[in-house]
Amino acid sequence: MKATLTVLGSGTSMGVPTIGCQCAVCRSEDPRDRRTRPSILIEYGGKVVLIDTTPDFRQQAIRENMRSLDAVFYTHAHADHILGLDDLRPLSFRRRPYKIPLYATPEATETIRRMFCYIFEAKYKFGGLAQVELKPLDGPVELFEAVFEPVKVLHGDLEIVGYRFGLAA
């Protein structure tokens, strides 16, 4: 199966350039030195899968002309990997009545549920909520004829997950 992998962002947790930084890279006019926070998009068989919703997700999605999204996998629940979750709203509205599945470790799932409680609590009274569903990860996930295998990775002292799918990781 042919797949396309798009690097949406490859910057640091603060993005590049970083606010207030005067280093040569942050002052550079080279467009390659303007990097949003890390996320990738995988497209295969007419399906679109995202890894991480960074605070830059809205900008990344507009830049790449995203029109649909079928699933999201999270590597961990740090702010620079999850804070764009609310920007899934317009993509999720197009999927009604189906919700976009969000795959994450049980620990990350709990953090996401807490941080975005208004999405997951039925008592929220305002409209426009992202139509998403948390799915705790406990092993490989077969999704649209591809297998996403969680791979344990150290992020400093924190154990997080990367994903292997086909020949890519």
pLDDT means per 10 residues, the chain with 169 residues, are 90 88 94 92 95 96 96 95 95 89 96 93 78 94 94 91 91
Task: Sketch the domain layout of the chain as residue ranges.
Answer: 3-165
Q: Considering the entire predicted model, what is its pTM?
A: 0.92
* pLDDT at 153 (0 to 100): 93
The whole-angstrom separation of Cα 13 and Cα 116 is 20
* pLDDT at 132 (0 to 100): 95
The whole-angstrom separation of Cα 49 and Cα 132 is 14
Q: Please report, for the chain, how many H helices and E strands are present, in that order.
A: 6, 9
* pLDDT at 23 (0 to 100): 95
* pLDDT at 50 (0 to 100): 97
User: What distances in angstroms separate CA 114 from CA 7, 12, 18, 33, 110, one per listed residue?
Assistant: 28, 24, 28, 34, 6
CATH of domain 3-165: 3.60.15.10
Instruction: Supply φ then ψ for residue 141, to 5 degrees.
Output: -120, 120
